[in-house]
Structure 1
Amino acid sequence: MKQLVTFLFSVFFVCQIASAQDVISGTVMNAANDVPLENVHIVNLNQVKGSTSEEDGSFKLQATANDTLYFTYLGFKSIKVRVTNDWLKYGNVKVKMTEVGIALEEVTVSDVKLTGYLEIDAKNIPIYENKRYSISGLNIGYEAGGSSPNAFNKVIGSIFNPADALNNLFSRRERQMRKLRQMKEDESIRDLLGSKYNRETLSAMLQLSKAEIEEVLSRCNYSEDFVKTATDLQILDAISGCWEEYKLLQRNKN
């Protein structure tokens, strides 16, 4: 009995050590002056866990050896850092981020000249709409974009051959697509994606290029306007919905 209690205590002690090693700590700093950076978003791309740095730049995050952490902060170059055994063993590591210059492109604004006649001016002012078609028998809608002349044809084409249109994209990324639900459930990741529009973090987590993300959404009949203006969180939800529909179609097909 005494030996059993000793054995159980040893197992418990080992488990406690192992679990403690699963949480790493570090400090995020500005590479130029070593000033701590607050509210830096850190995402474990392997375990789909997120965190943010404190006022003193410190952070804690669940991770194991060889996991990749993705650091992103407005005005700084995003970086990936590999978790090493030394990091797990010795604790706090300083992660330094490099500030980047932002060059604003020249934008030309074209004025709409009004004549004062309502019938004429109404035709000259551009109106952009994003329409979503609802088809009887389907519990989902299909967004077809503004005044595209082939909008309805795109909808019909996607219904008759939706699985084949997405198969090449999703079949090669099935492992990454399985992370979608985890990403949606992690509050830190949702907060991060809800404030971003550049698709960088989303691309890193899903291992999809920006072009592939746009292609997925296009295949799922989201308008070009939505793709350009939606937050990364909205894009995540759209891809997740598309993935769930794709899986259902594949099951029915098989």
Structure 2
Amino acid sequence: MSKILLLLLFFSFLNVHSQNGRKFIHGKISDKLGGLSNVHIINLNTKRGTYTNENGDFKIPVKLNDSLRFSFVGYETKLLKIIKKHFGIQNNNFSLNKTTYVLDEVDLNRNNLLGFLSADSKLIKKEKVINAETLKLPFAGERILTPAERRLQTARGGKNPALIGLLGGSISLDWIINSVSGRINKLKKLKDIEESEKNISYIKNTYETMIINELNISEDNLYRFIYFCEADMKFIRILNGGEIAMINFLKQKSKEFKKL
């Protein structure tokens, strides 16, 4: 028993020594309605802090001339210098005041509005929009091609390829060369793969929760199930048919998937 007592005394000594002679003071922080919970109290000298409980009570180690800061969202921050009376038996009671926010004055007559939309819309100054279309830059407003689409377009001779006469028609010289070499077919396959991965990512991001929780497809089988659905010849048509069509499609495919 004496050994246990010695250990307790030893740890108590370490704790007191670590506080550098500081003692705990007890306090309560309130506003006009009562105790404030979760007020942040920090000793600016030791950088140690705590929070008030649901009744506004707290305790924190301090010594003479330490400075405490009380802060809480929506209330004015308060600073306190520790003096002798704070070490008394009674609790230290502190109060915080709510912060008053003053909004900037709004001048309703600045634009001379009349209250009629048809008339006021002509009086309101509109900021000039600056973008590729207003600047009339080349290809402004066109859809941005994916990397695979750009490579395929380049292999075919670009957007406006140089054409040569061939059997009464016209075709790009680059198109002929890349078709013969097999590059066109290879890039078409890469474009199809890119499109497939985009569709799979969309299904995963949009319907993952439903697939796992409602269709009871395990998370380990999530991608396997989505690839199974994407392989269906009706997938693209269903994908373009809207959310309801896709949900019904996924429900039907889940039954087929589970049988497999």
Q: TM-score, normalised by structure 1?
A: 0.35
Q: TM-score, normalised by structure 2?
A: 0.35
Q: Which has the higher contact order (CA 8 A, sep 6+)?
A: 1
